[in-house]
Structure 1
Amino acid sequence: MRSPWFLRATARGAMGAAVRSVDWAATPLGPPAAWPLPLRAAVELCLGTEFPVLVTWGPELTMIYNDGYREMLGTDKHPGALGSPLAAVWAEVWDAIEPSVREVEAGRPTWVVDQRLVMHRSGFDEETFFTYSYSPLLDVDGQVRGLLDIATESTAQVVERRRVGQLSLLQSRLQAAGPDVGAVVAAAAATLADGPDLTLVGAALGPRGGLRWVHGPADDVDAALVERAARTATVQQAGRLLVVPLPLVAIDDREGLLALRAGALRPVDDQLRTFARLVADAVAGALTGALRHEREVGMLERVSDVLQRAMLEPPVDRPGVATRYVPATRGLAVGGDWYDVADLPGGRAGIVVGDLVGHGLESASRMGQLRSAARALLLRTDAPAPAVDGLDAFARTLPGAEYATVHCGVLDPAAGTYTYTSAGHPPAAVLRTDGTVTWLTGARGTPLTVAREPRPHDVVAVAAGDVVVLCTDGLLERRGSDLRSRLAALERLLVGLVGADPDAIADGVLAGMTPEGSLDDTAVVVHRVEG
């Protein structure tokens, strides 16, 4: 017959019936009436509180617990855990909790905060976290006979802190990735790689109705799942796989989605789906910026192409002439360098190469004005020095044209002369048919807007087959190299190209002098003297 204290202790809560249903006489504890007073007191305390409490007693640490503790057992372990040995009930985590149990058996209480335990309590292996205290329970003789476990599950709090931390890390890495779509996706994949909660297994972007995978193999995700997520703009789930639409700000009607795989040790619940949407929001924000930058760069590149064709590549319909323009490796294909070749009366050619300080659209605009003015002046004056004098006066009226350099020359094949002047520009060269090079170092003056006196000119003799080569300083200036050594290198290249046609010479000069790419705009004009 049960004692009054036992009936009183088990009368309250859902656990009352469960405790009374156990045949305690068949357990190592024996019938409740024979339980020692310390065990009775501990059980009454346990069953009289809603806080999770576990009492174990005897050599097998037989378990008695209340409603609060029952929730931590899950559906797999209760009610069979009542009256069962602690080590058997928690066999999957015994290695983790046994050291604390042994401390209690030695008479020392323990305190553990947020201990990670992988439990099998609801049909699957689940990552959990607990904060708990084990205290020794002493018999009337003062010997440790059991333990009192007062516990609270902190899984939700620990997982939430972890996810907030991962979102913060994701945001910082996405920001550091810069305005590049590939870098943004790579940063997201690296941050979520083998994550305990979510792993990025795929990312798709494209025009509406034309998604394509930019990360991860498409075979890993069911096409119907992708189509449904894109069409409904809602999270779709298949097992532990979540397909989450990316809320991209409208950019050229783009859409996207992420394929995320849930970690094996966490349930796919509303909290995880919320986390997946937050991840998608963070990635979408970074991708929106990258796609906007991509669109703006594309627009600027189209503008620069138009400008380059309109201002940097004037049509040259003259035999024996090759021209090249290579923009700086900074992005836009326009800058401050220019060239022009104009037909003059008597079969002569006016050649101009110039370099304006700066890069980008503003410099290109000023450069275009200088080039147009130089052509007009050369056609009117029919001589290089007066043309540059007039360009000097024009540049003083054009803000931003200060200190521009110009080489202007007139090639007269019939007279066998090349007349030129230089406003602070690198020297031109004449590649002779015999393989020698003549540097045009005469008639040198200061850059535009500096000189106040008439420009000098010089004349050099040329013969049929000779090649006049002009360039801007982007071909010659290199960090760590002086101008003298660069001119010597250009001369060696030209000597090796003697007899080649103008196009081959222009390409050879660029390839030989700028193999690593130029940090400055470069213009080259090659004009062979026709017989």
Structure 2
Amino acid sequence: MSDWFESAVRGGECADLARGVDWSRTPLGDPSTWAPALRSAVELCFSTRFAVLVTWGPELTMIYNDGYREMLGTDLHPQAMGASAAELWGHVWADIGPLFTEVLATGTPTWDVDLLLWMQRSGYTEETRFTFSYSPLRDEDAVVRGVLDIATETTDQVVDRRRLALLGRLATALQGHRDQVDDTARIVTEVLGGNQDITAAHLYRGDDPVATIGPAPDAATTLLARVHRTGRAVWHDHLLATPVGDGRPDGPAEVLLLRGNPHRPLDAAHRGFLELVAATIGTALAEGAAHRRRIARMRTVSDALQHAMVPDTPPSSRWETRYRPADDTLFVGGDWFDVVELPDGRFGLVVGDCVGHGVDAATSMGRLSSAGRALMLSGAGPARTLELLDDFARTVPGTEFTTVFCGVVDRAAGTLTYSSAGHLPGLVVHDGCERSAWLEDAQGTPLTLHRGPRPERTTRLSRGDTVVLYTDGLVERRGEHLRTGLDRLVDVAREACRGEVLADLPDHLLGGMLPTGARDDVAIVVYRAD
């Protein structure tokens, strides 16, 4: 093995693999004989963490780095090292082979964005998307002898956008819908039919199907009976069977069977998406049932959203929450909070404020709150959650310009990681109550106004530190500068932390901050580090 090759391929699993290949037995021959262009390409490949593939010679022999290995999957790696590209990529060669041919024949680079490839890399036929460029590699005589591929996989981004767009269309179609179950089923069929992320959907009223998309699953009868018996959701491979609607004493009135995309892994994000679809349909059915029982629409909306959008305080003495809507006829309005138990003793938290008040704001808030909870449960961090909520809000009228504070409390590490979409900064009152600090280092614009990655920061929390998150109704006054209200909050919070037990702290904040007759939604989340 030549010295330059040993030097070029140091570091990484693929570098170790490349050193172990007997290149003299491949069409490339011993590395000491390789053309300068091939040497340069190999040195580039192993000097970067970007995904890079080098192919050379009549067989388009493959050399790649660790970044590219992740895109190959377990079915193709490690045998891809030193293999012929045409043989290895046989299952997608009809799609990418012409691109190689074009570069070899013309010397002109290609450029593809989110190209769809049906890959066999994880034990099944998988939908994947890639953005990449094939560039020519020339020998000393300027003849194209190889192709350099610099790529990035965009599957998750494409699928996330597609799923959020579908949720937005479904929510919009069902908005304000209060007719019979059959009419709801018609809307579900129209919106979900022909969609690649929902390959089967079956809505049952009792044991009778009222909406059918795709073939009935073999296990449908068994799953339907189990949901009727237990009233709980059941997972079976890519199939979710769940009660929807408002139920009845002897079991759920409606049951929904949803099958996801079998060409995508059934991970937390996939499960969360199907659960969001079911929740959206269930909310429409519940509202329809309430209408048929002649309950006023405003009270129906408030009752339906009470449990979903104003969750109970987490089962921990370290958390306290309060919600006070501006409209006395509703339990909820445009403001919301959510505290979600995550694995390993962590908690996700979201505090948000939709534009406006009343039923319309509550409807917008409900959709964003459900989406935010699902994203946090799927493992998305604060910044990523806000980025996906940006995409979701662009599809749902009435959610534009919403402000959201999103964070994750890690009790074991003693940290709070957060990101803000135009929301007022959280306040940390340090143990002893003599010092305080604003959580303002990860500020961004409200939802739908931001493009690209959002900022994210992590701050340490010491034992006894108190975090106060809130909506603008707590600090804003007509005719008063916002800074005055924020300064008032610091004074009231410090005083409350000195003399109040945590359970009474939110009420002290409300009493000390709100003037008599104040009419604005207010949500408060308080956490004390241990």
How high is the TM-score relative to the length of structure 1?
0.52
**Conserved in 2, the CA contact under 8 Å of 1:203 and 1:258?**
yes
1:59-208 paired onto structure 2 within 5 Å: 59-105=58-104, 106-175=106-175, 178-206=178-206
1:316-355 paired onto structure 2 within 5 Å: none
1:281-360 paired onto structure 2 within 5 Å: 281-296=279-294
- 3-state secondary structure, aligned to 2:75: helix
Q: 1:214 is aligned with what amino acid?
A: V
State the distance in 2 between where 1:296 and 1:43 align.
73
Q: Does the C-alpha gap of structure 1 residues 202 and 101 become closer, same or farther in structure 2, counting only changes over 3 Å?
A: same
| 1:187-210 deviation line (CA, Å, top 9, x unaligned) | 11222223211134311245xxxx
Greater C-alpha Rg: 1
State the distance in 1 between where 2:230 and 2:270 align.
20
State the distance in 1 between where 2:216 and 2:102 align.
53
State the distance in 1 between where 2:239 and 2:217 align.
13
State the distance in 2 between where 1:65 and 1:27 align.
15
| 1:194-252 deviation line (CA, Å, top 9, x unaligned) | 3211134311245xxxx654334988444443344456665422233221332648899
**Conserved in 1, the CA contact under 8 Å of 2:52 and 2:65?**
yes
State the distance in 1 between where 2:182 and 2:219 align.
20
| 1:63-86 deviation line (CA, Å, top 9, x unaligned) | 100011011111111111111111
- 3-state secondary structure, aligned to 2:175: helix
- 3-state secondary structure, aligned to 2:255: strand
Q: 1:100 is aligned with what amino acid?
A: L
Following TM superposition, by how much is the alpha carbon of 1:141 offset from its aligned partner in structure 2, in angstroms?
1.3
Q: Does the C-alpha gap of structure 1 residues 140 and 176 become closer, same or farther in structure 2, counting only changes over 3 Å?
A: farther
Q: 2:107 is aligned with what amino acid?
A: G
| 1:382-422 deviation line (CA, Å, top 9, x unaligned) | xxxxxxxxxxxxxxxxxxxxxxxxxxxxxxxxxxxxxxxxx
- 3-state secondary structure, aligned to 2:73: helix
Q: 2:85 is aligned with what amino acid?
A: L
Is 2:268 the counterpart of 1:270? yes
**Conserved in 2, the CA contact under 8 Å of 1:198 and 1:260?**
yes
2:240 maps to 242
How big is the alpha-carbon RMSD for the aligned residues of Structure 1 and Structure 2? 2.6
Q: 1:74 is aligned with what amino acid?
A: G
1:359-374 paired onto structure 2 within 5 Å: none
**216-225 or 149-158, larger mean C-alpha shift:** 216-225
**Conserved in 2, the CA contact under 8 Å of 1:221 and 1:259?**
no
- 3-state secondary structure, aligned to 2:293: helix
Identity of counterpart residues, as a percentage? 46
Q: Does the C-alpha gap of structure 1 residues 231 and 14 become closer, same or farther in structure 2, counting only changes over 3 Å?
A: farther
Following TM superposition, by how much is the alpha carbon of 1:60 offset from its aligned partner in structure 2, in angstroms?
1.3
Following TM superposition, by how much is the alpha carbon of 1:152 offset from its aligned partner in structure 2, in angstroms?
0.3
| 1:82-108 deviation line (CA, Å, top 9, x unaligned) | 111111111111121123212211110
- 3-state secondary structure, aligned to 1:145: strand
State the distance in 2 between where 1:78 and 1:32 align.
22
**24-33 or 265-274, larger mean C-alpha shift:** 265-274
**Conserved in 2, the CA contact under 8 Å of 1:109 and 1:135?**
yes
Equivalent residue for 1:215, pick from 211, 216, 228: 211
Following TM superposition, by how much is the alpha carbon of 1:11 offset from its aligned partner in structure 2, in angstroms?
1.9
Q: 2:49 is aligned with what amino acid?
A: E
Q: Does the C-alpha gap of structure 1 residues 102 and 233 become closer, same or farther in structure 2, counting only changes over 3 Å?
A: farther
**Conserved in 2, the CA contact under 8 Å of 1:120 and 1:126?**
yes
Q: Does the C-alpha gap of structure 1 residues 69 and 235 become closer, same or farther in structure 2, counting only changes over 3 Å?
A: farther
Runs of 5+ in structure 2 lacking a partner? 297-530
**168-177 or 51-60, larger mean C-alpha shift:** 168-177
State the distance in 1 between where 2:96 and 2:232 align.
42
State the distance in 2 between where 1:227 and 1:137 align.
62
Q: Does the C-alpha gap of structure 1 residues 296 and 164 become closer, same or farther in structure 2, counting only changes over 3 Å?
A: same
- 3-state secondary structure, aligned to 2:111: strand
Following TM superposition, by how much is the alpha carbon of 1:135 offset from its aligned partner in structure 2, in angstroms?
0.8
Runs of 5+ in structure 1 lacking a partner? 299-531
**Conserved in 1, the CA contact under 8 Å of 2:245 and 2:284?**
no
Q: Does the C-alpha gap of structure 1 residues 7 and 78 become closer, same or farther in structure 2, counting only changes over 3 Å?
A: same
**Conserved in 1, the CA contact under 8 Å of 2:51 and 2:68?**
yes
Aligned length: 293
Q: 2:281 is aligned with what amino acid?
A: V
1:256 maps to 254
Q: 1:81 is aligned with what amino acid?
A: A
Q: Does the C-alpha gap of structure 1 residues 218 and 20 become closer, same or farther in structure 2, counting only changes over 3 Å?
A: closer
1:52 maps to 51
Following TM superposition, by how much is the alpha carbon of 1:180 offset from its aligned partner in structure 2, in angstroms?
2.3
1:23 maps to 22
**Conserved in 2, the CA contact under 8 Å of 1:242 and 1:261?**
yes
- 3-state secondary structure, aligned to 1:29: coil
| 1:29-78 deviation line (CA, Å, top 9, x unaligned) | 01111111111111111012111100000011111000110111111111
State the distance in 2 between where 1:40 and 1:248 align.
67
Q: Does the C-alpha gap of structure 1 residues 294 and 199 become closer, same or farther in structure 2, counting only changes over 3 Å?
A: farther
State the distance in 2 between where 1:65 and 1:256 align.
52
- 3-state secondary structure, aligned to 1:76: coil
Q: Does the C-alpha gap of structure 1 residues 204 and 32 become closer, same or farther in structure 2, counting only changes over 3 Å?
A: same
| 1:461-498 deviation line (CA, Å, top 9, x unaligned) | xxxxxxxxxxxxxxxxxxxxxxxxxxxxxxxxxxxxxx
